[in-house]
Structure 1
């Protein structure tokens, strides 16, 4: 999917908005955002920060389920999802 690219600010190239492949950016925003962050879609968002410091397996299963559900809401087809290492979550799939 192609969309505007946001780094620390909206990326501008040659005086125009940069439009590039945005799948990685979309995944990052979805994982970091809380429910209610997007006013048009109030149930969208994983809120991963609340799961990061939780060491138990139940939280990881909830996180995996929440990520899968939220990606499905965003029309992302998940092939594989691995949340065993919270510092390196692996998501394979496509829009």
Structure 2
């Protein structure tokens, strides 16, 4: 999906005085991961709320996080090919279904 792109600080990306437009799928996935539940009033349950999972204690938090990511990404139309933690990083392979 073509969208207005944002920088790493979630500010609109501007180059030579113009807003930058481009492929926004990864940007949308990032928003779903980082936004807390209820942050988007029009769809309060659409996001993952990753930071809440990271604040939880215990081994179950990682499994619960992966389950929540899978549910919310599928709900948003993302076809997930694979997902898991590798060397402390979350890796998600998938894109929006065509």
**What TM-score do the two structures reach when normalised by structure 2?**
0.82
Runs of 5+ consecutive residues of structure 2 not aligned to the other structure? none
Cα RMSD (Å): 1.8
Can you list the C-alpha shifts for 1:7-56, whole angstroms capped at 9, x where unaligned? 13211234332111222211111111011111111111111112224453
> Aligned runs of 1:41-52 on 2, under 5 Å?
41-52=43-54
Determine the structure 1 residue equivalent to 2:6. 6
Alpha-carbon distance in structure 2 between the residues aligned to 1:4 and 1:83: 30
Aligned residue runs from structure 1 range 1-95, under 5 A: 1-7=1-7, 8=9, 9-54=11-56, 56-83=58-85, 87-95=88-96
In 1: Cα distance, 2:18 partner to 2:47 partner: 29
Q: Runs (4+) of structure 1 moved beyond 6 Å?
A: none
- What TM-score comes out, normalization by structure 1 length? 0.85
Q: Residue 32 of structure 2 aligns to a residue in which SS?
A: helix
Looking at structure 2, the residues matched to 52 and 34 of structure 1 have their Cα atoms a distance apart, in angstroms, of 12
